[in-house]
Amino acid sequence: MVSVGRLVAVGALIIALIAVEPLLGGLDQAFQYIQEYSGFIYPGIIVVFGLGLLWKRASSTAAVWTAILTIPMGILFKIMLPNVAFQFRAGYIFILLFVFFVVVSYFDKKYVRCEQPSETDQKQMLLWAKILGSAGILMILAAAIVTILGMIHPGGNPDTSVIAYLNDIGFQAFYFFGVLTGSSAIWLYSNSKDRVQDVKALPINLKLFATDRGYTIGTCGIVLITFLLYALLW
């Protein structure tokens, strides 16, 4: 199988060099195609691997069907919403796949009894579930307010109107950030409270996610630098 995989990879590269590159018309357009069409699979990957690794009730049935639906939904949204930015289409698909995954997992009967985490771990999980859940709700509310105000006052000038400017730069993306953040709150709460888990669930030790102060400061620094770059160069 390894040999077959290598041959397929080499063949794909040759085909791309000969046939695809001239059709794209340039490096910028090539990256645009790569980003847009990789968005057909990213939502499913995030849902399947994220919940599959971190949520003890994630079921194999939900994972399989989520993976199956990912590309067809990408094609459907591409046809139905051709004028919507591909980043937003991927975000809408992510939300739908996340809801689908959670619902199917809860209705799946292939689970076993399990012990709840220690009291210390439970407190940590519930604390972060509240923090992330609150942050997710605030993001969604902020995006909803900006969207509604933009609909009430359409045609505003982004140079003179804050709401028009926020809509112009894609503030609606906070819907997706909110759901992504809130999804962590859901699996944290479930992992702390549920007394059942999927038969193939892996045990999770919270100590695996512990980081030192240097890592935290470095991460915050990277986020701040990225924010400043986007703010200055947008």
- The domain segmentation of the chain, as residue ranges, is 39-233
Q: Which residue has the tokens 């992992």?
A: 191
The residues, any chain, with a CB within 8 Å of residue 55's CB and separated by 6 or more, are 105, 186, 187, 190, 191
Q: Three-state DSSP class for 117?
A: coil
pLDDT tens string 151-177: 887 777 777 788 888 888 788 889 999
Q: Which residue has the tokens 């160069």?
A: 233
Q: What pLDDT, on a 0 to 100 scale, did the predictor assign at position 81?
A: 85
pLDDT tens string 107-146: 988 888 888 888 888 898 999 999 999 999 999 999 999 9
Assessment of whether the complete model's pTM goes beyond 0.85: no
Listed residue (74, 56, 84, 75) closest to 172, CA to CA: 84
Q: What pLDDT, on a 0 to 100 scale, did the predictor assign at position 227?
A: 81
Other beta carbons less than 10 A from residue 42's beta carbon? 15
Number of H helices, E strands in the chain: 10, 2
25, pLDDT greater than 60: no
Q: How far apart are the C-alpha atoms of 183 and 102, rounded to whole Å?
A: 10
Q: What pLDDT, on a 0 to 100 scale, did the predictor assign at position 189?
A: 92
1, pLDDT greater than 60: no
User: In angstroms, how far is CA 161 from the centroid of its own chain?
Assistant: 30
